[in-house]
Structure 1
Amino acid sequence: MKKISLFAAFICLATVSMAQLKAAVTCPPFEVDLLDGKVNGFKANTIAGQIKAKWPCFSSVTPDSAKCGEAVYYKDKGITFYTSRHYVEITEGFKGKLSVPLLGSPRGSLFKTLGNPAMKDAGWDAYQTNYGIMILYFNKANKCRLIRFSTESTNTIRLCE
């Protein structure tokens, strides 16, 4: 009985001794410069490996063979990098800093900051920028709900719907 108790105690101690502390993966905050088309210095055409290395707390990644091509998702942060299609998408739940606070802005108040849109539709406005294009999507109250910016032009951008 003494041997069995000693063996059980040894197994318990061995199991506990193999436990390791693991630090939670932390990401630097997202800082988006909408007028220059960069997220913490990275342009929209940055490869997925560099993005994952900079922000290792991504929620999921899709391969290049997926429907929308390669993408790195940060769903809890409100930002997605579509690396195959060279654009970044920022949603209303964005947790980070925008150089120009466009999310929630009324549609008619953007002229001073962005000028006239290059293209318009009922639900979106597309602005030509020095780096490519920025598309703002509006809700029924005509407030900005989604931002997409790309190094592509209005003629070459391929959005994932």
Structure 2
Amino acid sequence: MFRLITSFIACLMLLATASAQLKTKQDCNLIAVDVYKGWINEAKPNADPEQIKVKLPCFNSFEKEGNESKCGGGIYYDDKDFKFYIQRDYVVLGEKFKGKLNIPLLGAKRDDLFAWFGNPKLKDANWEAYQMQYGTLIVYFNAKKLVNKIIMSTKSTEEIDLCTD
């Protein structure tokens, strides 16, 4: 009888610990951006959200695509400083982006951009927009005229609708 009770208690304890497993966050390994192709880990800004999440599973939060969502929905990688705006078809890389760019664009001097992209299609005091094969590349500058934010979009400069968040 003692063995039966002991076995029963051991089974209950095993079941309790089985349901309390630690869950780890998915890792993206190396996050690689190709500025000329307009993708991160081969996920383009206009890709299906599920495809983006497969290629970059380490997202912090997800907002379903649709007009009722802020900015049309997004996949956010806050700890790595980038985000996909899925309905608006663009991705933003912030100045603290944790990943590898195929060209050293973040922190680059404004004067160095011509060698990589030619003349901008549009420009302002704090940003420049370049026509790319995939759509539009927009770079923003800080007070020292260094690139501190990058937007890659599959839309043209006439079509793009940036979110003000």
Q: Which residue of 1 aligns with 2:125?
A: 122
The structural deviation recorded for 1:17 is 4.8
User: Unpaired runs of 5+ in structure 1?
Assistant: none
TM superposition score normalised by structure 1: 0.87
Report SS of the residue matched to 1:149: strand
- Say if 1:48 and 1:70, in contact at 8 Å, map to a contact too: no
| Paired residues of 2:41 and 2:56 also in contact (CA < 8 A) | no
Task: Write the distance in 2 (CA, Å) between the matches of 1:11 and 1:107.
Answer: 69
Is 1:47 paired with 2:48? yes
What amino acid does structure 2 have at the position aligned with 1:19? T
Identity of aligned residues (%): 43
Query: 1:79 & 1:134 partners in 2: Cα distance?
Result: 15
Among residues 60, 72, 76, which one is paired with 2:75 in the alignment?
72
TM-score by structure 2 length? 0.85
**Alignment partner of 1:61 is 2:57:** no
Q: CA deviation at 1:23?
A: 5.2
Partner of 2:147: 144
Q: 1:53 deviation in Å?
A: 2.4
Amino acid aligned to 2:93: I
Matched, 1:14 2:17: no
Give the number of the structure whose residues are more often helix, by fraction: 2
Question: Offset of 1:12 from its aligned partner?
Answer: 7.4
Q: How many residues are aligned here?
A: 158
2:135 is equivalent to residue 132 of structure 1: yes
1:104-156 deviation digits (Å, cap 9, x = unpaired): 11111111111111101111000111111000011111111100011100100
Matched, 1:84 2:87: yes
RMSD: 2.2
AA of the residue aligned to 1:134: L
Q: What is the DSSP-based 3-state SS (H/G/I as helix, E as strand, rest coil) of the residue aligned with 1:110?
A: helix
